[in-house]
Amino acid sequence: MQKKADYGMAIKTKYPEPIIVAIAKDENGKMNPVTIGWSMIASGSPPMFAIALTPKRHTTAAIRHSKCFTIVYPTDEMTDDVMFFGTHSGRDIDKLAEGNCKHIPAEEIDSVILEDAVANFECTLESELEAGDHIIFVGKVVACHVNTEEKSRLYSVASGHVLGGVVKK
């Protein structure tokens, strides 16, 4: 049985939502990580991701500038850094320098990858689409990296940016 609900109530049923970090180089050459809940796999062949960012994010300008970005699957051990990346703007600080994530240059794009993550996907910018109050950036995957150890992905588990791992059964 279904009951009619407003959007604000219905959308709270979406959890758990996988969290990603996107990293793009800004116009000053700084690699800027941002936390994103609204992302999806957009194509399988060729592989592509889509991420939704508001126009005011520093990362929105950085992606338009560098025309590429890394998609990171963070681990649940990276929660503090992910919250830091999602609550501070690269307009004001160097988030990678102030955080605790080890990072190394990406191989195929002008970005970095995070060494302790579950996986990293290097993407070139394919297109962007305005969707309401967000911009959807579509990136084509040109290189992938996976952790040699088994790690748990990080999820948003409840509204209000409550983050945590999801136990696999």
Ligand X SMILES: Cc1cc2nc3c(=O)[nH]c(=O)nc-3n(C[C@H](O)[C@H](O)[C@H](O)COP(=O)(O)O)c2cc1C
**Cis (ω within 30 of 0) for the bond into 47?**
no
Q: What are phi and psi of 9, to 5 degrees?
A: -80, -45
Looking at the DSSP bridge assignments, the partners of residue 25 are 31
Q: Which residues bind ligand X (CB under 6 A)?
A: 19, 32, 34-38, 52-54, 57-59, 83, 86-91, 156, 161
Task: Count CA atoms closer than 13 A to 93's CA, side-chain side.
Answer: 13
**In 39-61, which positions are buried (b, 16+ CB within 10 angstroms) versus exposed (e)?**
beebeeeeebbbbbbeeebbbbb
Which residue has its beta carbon closest to ligand X?
A: 86
- The residue among 14 and 107 lying less far from ligand X, judged by its C-beta, is 14
Nearest residue (CB) to ligand X, 16 versus 37: 37
At CA 137, angle to CA 106 and CA 111, rounded to 5?
Answer: 15
Judged by beta carbon, residue 53 or residue 118, the one nearer ligand X is: 53
Cβ closest to ligand X, residue 14 vs residue 91: 91
Nearest distance in Å: CB 24, ligand X: 9
**Shortest distance (Å) from residue 149 CB to ligand X:** 24
Nearest distance from C-beta of residue 56 to ligand X, angstroms: 7
Q: How far is the CB of 107 from ligand X (least distance, A)?
A: 24
